[in-house]
Amino acid sequence: MRLSLLFLSLLLIASAEARHPAAVRRRSRARAFIEQQCEKTLYPDLCVRYLSCHVGNFTTTLSHQRLAQIALKVSLERAESTRAYVSEVARELKLRKAKHYQEIRDCLDQINDGVAQLSNCIKETEMIKENGGSSDFPWHASNVKTWMSAALSDASMCIYGFSGRVIAGKTKAMIKAKVLNLEQTTSISLALFNRFAARYKASHHQP
């Protein structure tokens, strides 16, 4: 039964590919483009895993700017997910009037700031016209790099702000894992933006 279902699935996939060969080729090129760019980051496997889900966003051209924007949105999603979890932990500690509530609250403030910084980065990259050669590019690029660096610092400060046994080991481990994931995705975003910025400056003779 399982073999029959597998065979049927393969037939359906093959049929879809036969009907839409151009779409399949575009997805293959987009996947290869993502893998190539992810090799330049500190976390290539993580980069490919997160960004390959977005190959459908490259329906016409393969854009370094678009890839950087998508990576930033992934980082923002990670930041928002981390914020939601830390917010719940802070809420429980506040209800219990735990003495270490303030340390978790400080961590949450750092994550909130990181969410704001990443949101600003996305808006800023959308102001850059990739083919326009805007004279404002150095200003936009500087803002994005500054805000992304600040978001990385915010994530680090959240964890390093814990002292001693602030919260239960399992909860602390979960927060650390989420913040580490946030740091890694933000690092990927910064690397991809830097790559886009370098190409932009070279092609538009920016200083």
Lowest mean pLDDT among 20-24, 122-126, 171-175: 20-24
Within a domain: 95: yes
Least confident of 1-5, 35-39, 71-75, 133-137: 1-5
pTM across the whole model? 0.81
| Domain-embedded: residue 30 | no
Distance CA(116)–CA(76), nearest Å, equals 9
Tell me if 23 is assigned to some domain. no
In a domain, residue 35? The reply is no
Residues 6+ apart with CB under 8 A from 87: 108
State yes or no: pLDDT of 15 exceeds 60: no
Q: Does a structural domain hold residue 43?
A: no
Has residue 183 been placed in a domain?
yes
pLDDT, tens digit, 9 for 90 and up, residues 88-105: 988 988 888 777 788 888
**CA 72, CA 192: separation in Å to the nearest integer?**
9
Q: Tell me how many domains the chain contains.
A: 1
Rounded Cα–Cα distance for residues 117 and 150 (Å): 7
pLDDT at 182 > cutoff 90: yes
Residues 6+ apart with CB under 8 A from 141: 128, 193, 197, 200
Answer yes or no: is 82 within a domain: yes
Tell me the average pLDDT across 14-32. Answer: 62
Model pLDDT, residue 10: 47
For 190, the domain range is 62-204
In a domain, 79, yes or no: yes
**Can you give the pLDDT at residue 2?**
47
CA 21, distance to chain mean position in Å, is 30
- At 202, the pLDDT band (50, 70, 90 cuts) reads confident
What CATH number does the domain containing 167 carry? 1.20.140.40
